[in-house]
Amino acid sequence: MKTVKEISALTGLSVRALQYYDRIGLLSPAGRTEGGYRLYDDASLERLQQILLFWELEFSLKDINRILSAPDFDRNRALEQQIGLLELKKEHIENLILFAKGILLKGTRGLKPMDFTVFDSKKMDEYAAEAKKTWEKTPAWQEYEEKRKDWKPGEGAVVERDIMALFVGFGALREGDPASEAAQKQVKALQTYITEHLYTCTDEILSGLGKMYDGGGAFTENIDAAGGPGTAHFAARAIEIYCKK
């Protein structure tokens, strides 16, 4: 576990920025010291790497939060998109360097009049927009949006309450074996409820949710608040075992 000051020294982010990330639910600590100071684990650091990569690619914090919170977020797919964007960015910068060298060596006489094509970053912008759409318009997200249209006033709060009640059930089992029949039945109940009320929760999506539950931040805190300390980790382990069967 690392303190907020250690994370700041490691990444170059200010302590104030890390505090802000926590406040908006983008990157919450995995725990706190007895004195209340934030602590970050390896899962938090992995999430922070994703945040910083998207930030370098000029995604807004709002977009980053939405992408990382997508029900079927896939780390490898995100990395492939980030690599693609970085390669486009590299190509753009290399073209600018060549353009600047041309001016230095030949002067403006060797260049086409009013040639600004080298400054065109449209291809990179289009790729970034498409990457955002990948997460905003996944089948799971679209299904969720459709179901939510039919919700009656207050139904969202009921769904949230029911899901938290399922985590209370995980909390009652957290001292036991996550591979036990009771724990596996609880995972199945969670998957079924999500499918019926939110979106089709495939094993792949469920596996991603499990990692998110145990990844620190608001999800982990809320689950542990409902079921007791360690509930999010226990639920994640039970989900991992369930999805591997």
pTM of the model: 0.50
HEC string of 207-234 equals HHHHHHHCCCCHHHHHHHHHHCCCHHHH
CA 194 to chain centre: 19
pLDDT at position 187, please?
Answer: 96
The domain over range 139-244 is classified in CATH as 1.10.490.50: yes
Tell me the Cα Rg of the chain.
22
> CB–CB of 172/227 below 8 Å?
yes
C-alpha–C-alpha distance, residues 203 and 158, integer Å? 24
pLDDT at position 138, please?
Answer: 66
- Report the CATH number of the 2-56 domain: 1.10.1660.10
2-56 and 139-244 agree in CATH topology: no
104-154 pLDDT per residue, tens = 666 555 555 445 554 555 655 665 565 566 555 667 767 777 777 777 777
* Parallel, antiparallel or unpaired: strands 31-32 and 2-3: unpaired
Percentage, residues of the chain above pLDDT 70? 82
pLDDT at position 114, please?
Answer: 47
Return the domain boundaries, the chain: 2-56, 75-136, 139-244
202-227 pLDDT per residue, tens = 898 888 888 878 877 667 888 888 89
Q: pLDDT-based confidence at 157, cuts 50/70/90?
A: confident
Mean per-residue pLDDT over the chain, rounded: 80
